[in-house]
Structure 1
């Protein structure tokens, strides 16, 4: 069992509220989303594991149980071509929950016309595999978002 924690401080809003049909329809996988505070911040690792995919706008950490957790920093932020994002780790690095991964500013993303909402998704999982999914209320970076059985 894996507890997936919030990579950011903000408000959990649930995937259904994400302004992107791929995420809101859980096509990538089940999970939740965080509407981040609008200030410069650092996205942190939501689980202990290995960074298997790393882009300025998104990263995947796979834990010891083989669970891949995607953190996507904003919606359509790939179109920013890395502008405003600073990678703090490398693909293949081992990270601990709470380690800094990407520095960014959600307010700048919003000013660029993109949504700063951040889906946190359990890859290759079923909705039934998740429990205690946070879909409302304030969350701090490192607070539990969901449990993956």
Structure 2
């Protein structure tokens, strides 16, 4: 299936290339390729980056699978799994159908930062091995501010 999937920013903040994320699992594209958003230190609403089914939902991360089989992972902060849900409030259930821009999780960035963790939000296409298939938006290249729901990158398959 050849097609392109527009992936939107799940939170607002400064758009950054995935290679700049200080975690090799993401920066080296081990999970997949995409981009990231460095969020402001405030409580944010993390939204679905694409429309589809909420394939996996954990307090600190979620995967939305599009009808075309493109799985997009949103990971709220680095090493945040160790918080066991503290600082995150889920507003959807695993298996739900969500629309791009729909609220999935409330993300308490200050509480994550207070625990000494990096709040950056990697957004990756699961199992995408070809970095060239991801076309980042201008904001990612320029490291500029991006609004929640703005185009973050396009995934070509």
Partner of 1:127: 131
Q: Which has the higher strand share?
A: 2
CA deviation after TM superposition for structure 1 residue 26, in Å: 0.9
State the SS of the aligned residue for 1:108.
helix
The TM-score with structure 1 as length reference comes to 0.97
Moved more, 13-22 or 139-148: 13-22
| Structure 1 Cα separation of the partners of residues 26 and 56 of structure 2 | 18
Partner of 2:154: 147
The TM-score with structure 2 as length reference comes to 0.92
State the SS of the aligned residue for 1:148.
strand
CA deviation after TM superposition for structure 1 residue 105, in Å: 1.2
Residue correspondence of structure 1 range 38-77 to structure 2 within 5 A: 38-77=41-80
CA deviation after TM superposition for structure 1 residue 25, in Å: 0.9
| Structure 2 Cα separation of the partners of residues 68 and 93 of structure 1 | 14
Partner of 2:119: 116
- Matched pairs, number: 149
Question: Which residues of structure 1 form unaligned runs of 5+?
Answer: none
State the Cα deviation string for residues 70-93 of structure 1 (Å, max 9, x = none): 000000000001011111000000
* Cα contact 2:87–2:109 (8 A) shared by 1: no
Partner of 1:101: 104
| Structure 2 Cα separation of the partners of residues 15 and 36 of structure 1 | 14
| Structure 2 Cα separation of the partners of residues 96 and 105 of structure 1 | 22
| Structure 2 Cα separation of the partners of residues 7 and 132 of structure 1 | 15
| Structure 2 Cα separation of the partners of residues 12 and 6 of structure 1 | 9
